[in-house]
Structure 1
Amino acid sequence: MGSKCFKSILVAVFSLVFVFFFNVSKVHAAPGDPAEAGQKEAPKLNPSKIILEHVSDAHEFHFYTFNKKPVFIPLPVILYSPTKGWSVFMSSKFEHGEQTYNGYRLLTEEYVGEKKLNDKVYRPGKIWAVNEAGDVDPSGKVYDLSLTRNAVQAIISALILLWIMPGIAAKYRNGQGVTTAPTGFQNVVEPVITFVRDEVGKSNLGDKYEKYMPFLLTVFFFILINNLLGLIPGTANVTGNIAFTAALGILSFIAIMISTGRHYWGHIFNPPVPGPIKVIMFPVEIMGIFTKPFALIIRLFANMISGHIIILSFICLIFIFGAMNTALGWGTSPFFVLLSIFIYLIEVLVAFIQAFIFANLTAVFIAQAFEGGHEEDHGHHAETVVA
């Protein structure tokens, strides 16, 4: 009973916070009103811009803007130009793209639109060299090696993983959790490790599971940590970045290729089908080598970015309705806030599910690469996992 009461109070608090701090509707005075004299028309709400800014990479951790003053953590900008050499400074020098610094400019959507630049070439968020007038210099080559928020958060996740797991491993080596009951954080992580071992390792890899458990556990916990950190407001959605998931997919591809044998390649180059059909099946089997890691890449990327987009869409709807009618904005705010909280809680569950699916499918693909086939050696049965 007390738990239900606490949850109800928590939901009410979240609703009030969102309503009072985020539902800001501007009422415009009639034309000619002295209060509007000399003032510019308020910019229109652009939901697509807001959503893309939140899910894309950036040179800072932006938390919120209060009284037109952004609260953020600037990140190091590391640039190399053949003409200027190395330049290292903090991203705050750009003042969110409003200023140039040391001959460089961080492009914003407003700047690209004002200068009528091709946004496919001069993408907002990218750093370009500028001339003395402050305009983009297309001839200036710049190599951007900056620590963006995706890169910084991936490093933080790796450090968290290296901080947690070796300590737990040391306890197991000392017999704690083996001859005695686990204690502390080990007691929290052990059920997860056991689940991955039994449901991912043993069920797919059979007797060979121990060889691959370090890789599978590392992939699982690294993805899980990044998924959970991405749910903190102001942080980066690292697993919603195609470059990050591509790197994980390449690692899985390497693990699959290392596990292949004569049976695997014999099936590729000499499919067990009638002669004329072999001509058709050969390119299909070759494509299958690459479609497996590609499926891992797209699945994780699409599932993790979609949840963030849905939450941001619900929040943007509050402002859209508020721009149409102030009362309508206030009236629909609690509904959209509750929907956002509901999706947010689902995203916590999805964070665990997607880490499991990536590790599980990697184990399935590795098992298929075994010489002789896992089906023959261990009676393997593959289960279809739906994200």
Structure 2
Amino acid sequence: MCTFAGFAAEPTETGKKEEAFNPGQVILHHVADSHEWHWFSTDNGNFITYLPIIAYQPSKGLSVFSSKHIVEGETYGNFKLEEEHLVTTDGSKVYDFSITKNVAALAVSSLVLVIVFISVARTYKRRAGQAPSGLQGFLEPFVIFIRDEVAKKSIGPKYERYMPYLLTVFFFIWFNNLLGLTPGAANLTGNVAVTAMLAVLTLIVTLFSSNKNYWTHIFWTPGVPLPLRIIMIPVELVGVIVKPFSLAVRLFANITAGHIIILSFISLIFIFRSAYTGFLSVPFGLFISVLELLVAILQAYIFTLLTAMYIGGALEEHHDEEHGHGHEHDDYGFAEERQGGSNFANLTKPDIAAH
């Protein structure tokens, strides 16, 4: 019989008393990062991949060893783990460069993305002018959707240069959201450090894409009285930082919340110690799991859409009042690109290959 991540109550040596089940500890163990990759547990033991510990001490230099020596609360040399933080027994300074579960998952997901899109790019070269099929046919609608419904409408005529970044963000988040739902996988997009880094990249792209009109609206907002302009400067500057911050928190909170809800339903079985609880918790847990499949792509879409909107706002030019919206729309030349057959073939070199 499988135990719940190795934390199910087990009898002591005397068999008189069982250890109490701690649902909070179990849930945090699943959603947090760790120095080992715990796949699953059975009565025969735990199936764990121990990851390398890479620590640097200014006084002693570099140390590299397996996390197997310290994950069970043991001390190796002068190293030990306290709530998954590497510390030293003598209190000396240590810098942790270890390959944690999330770092390993990041490497795996990045490798998957590279393999997938290299395969798709080669398929387009081999089947030039033919109808898409297989993996190529599955991914083409998503790329066309990001191009036509996100990039073009949010950024405008300069959308092409940002397609590689938007596609990378969309598929990276979507793939990792799905991988996070598989048993034993890492909760990569539920790690605020990962989502914050994605948000920082969006901020960098937005700021380096900004024009004079963008900064004019921040430091000298047109159309408002002079005293109010001065007040608006710090407000607008805070808004520049808050926008990407909201991206990071939204993705992190939604993905983490889904995992916590599913694990909470499963924990009910062990809390009440009754198989009958499974008739309630398992269907609800399954429903949330299916709902998370929708959330996985929805959160990837929202992050990509807001990123495109921020970039579009930074690129927006000042238009005279005599120019109506219809005139601006005609300048984009969208209708011209929608003619003919598959538009995705035109994206292969600038978008997919770069992605």
| 2:229 is the counterpart of 1:278 | yes
**How far apart are the structure 1 equivalents of 2:114 and 2:64?**
28
Which string of whole-angstrom CA distances, capped at 9 and with x for unpartnered residues, describes residues 170-228 of structure 1?
A: 333x273x521112211111111111111111121222111111110011111111111
> How far off its partner does 1:378 sit?
3.5
Match of 1:103 among 64, 78, 82: 78
Match of 1:342 among 287, 292, 302: 287
RMSD: 2.4
Paired residues, number? 322
Partner of 1:100, secondary structure, is coil
Cα contact 2:190–2:251 (8 A) shared by 1:
yes
**How far apart are the structure 2 equivalents of 1:248 and 1:344?**
25
**How far apart are the structure 1 equivalents of 2:10 and 2:310?**
58
Cα contact 1:268–1:286 (8 A) shared by 2:
yes
**How far apart are the structure 1 equivalents of 2:261 and 2:284?**
10
Partner of 1:231, secondary structure, is coil
Partner of 1:201: 151
Partner of 1:238, secondary structure, is coil
User: In structure 2, what residue type is equivalent to 1:44?
Assistant: A
**How far apart are the structure 2 equivalents of 1:353 and 1:55?**
20
> How far off its partner does 1:142 sit?
1.4
C-alpha spacing 1:68/1:44, structure 2 compared with 1 (3 Å): farther
Cα contact 2:9–2:21 (8 A) shared by 1:
no
**How far apart are the structure 2 equivalents of 1:37 and 1:179?**
70
> How far off its partner does 1:303 sit?
0.7
Cα contact 1:314–1:337 (8 A) shared by 2:
yes
| 2:234 is the counterpart of 1:289 | no
> How far off its partner does 1:39 sit?
5.0
**How far apart are the structure 2 equivalents of 1:210 and 1:221?**
17
> How far off its partner does 1:294 sit?
0.8
Partner of 2:19, secondary structure, is coil
> How far off its partner does 1:86 sit?
1.5
Partner of 1:7: none
Match of 1:57 among 9, 17, 33: 33
**How far apart are the structure 2 equivalents of 1:87 and 1:378?**
60
Partner of 1:235, secondary structure, is coil
C-alpha spacing 1:68/1:101, structure 2 compared with 1 (3 Å): farther
**How far apart are the structure 1 equivalents of 2:33 and 2:163?**
32
**How far apart are the structure 1 equivalents of 2:185 and 2:13?**
40
Partner of 1:151: 103
**How far apart are the structure 1 equivalents of 2:118 and 2:57?**
41
Match of 2:300 among 329, 335, 355: 355
**Correspondence list, 1:60-79, <5 A:** 60-67=36-43, 69-79=45-55
Partner of 1:364, secondary structure, is helix
Cα contact 1:253–1:293 (8 A) shared by 2:
yes
Partner of 2:33, secondary structure, is coil
**How far apart are the structure 2 equivalents of 1:101 and 1:37?**
27
> How far off its partner does 1:280 sit?
2.2
Unaligned ranges ≥5, structure 2: 331-355
State the percentage of identical aligned residues.
44
Match of 2:84 among 125, 148, 166: 125
Partner of 2:174, secondary structure, is helix
**How far apart are the structure 1 equivalents of 2:138 and 2:51?**
33
> How far off its partner does 1:316 sit?
1.0
Partner of 1:301: 252
Unaligned ranges ≥5, structure 1: 1-19, 29-35, 108-123, 131-136, 323-328, 381-387
TM-score of the two chains, using structure 2 as the length reference: 0.84
**How far apart are the structure 2 equivalents of 1:93 and 1:226?**
29
**Correspondence list, 1:1-387, <5 A:** 21=2, 38=14, 41-67=17-43, 69-94=45-70, 96-107=71-82, 124-130=83-89, 137-138=90-91, 140-172=92-124, 174=125, 176=127, 179-272=129-222, 273-322=224-273, 329-372=274-317, 378-379=328-329
> How far off its partner does 1:166 sit?
2.4
**How far apart are the structure 1 equivalents of 2:246 and 2:162?**
20
Cα contact 1:262–1:371 (8 A) shared by 2:
no
Partner of 2:335: none
C-alpha spacing 1:25/1:225, structure 2 compared with 1 (3 Å): closer
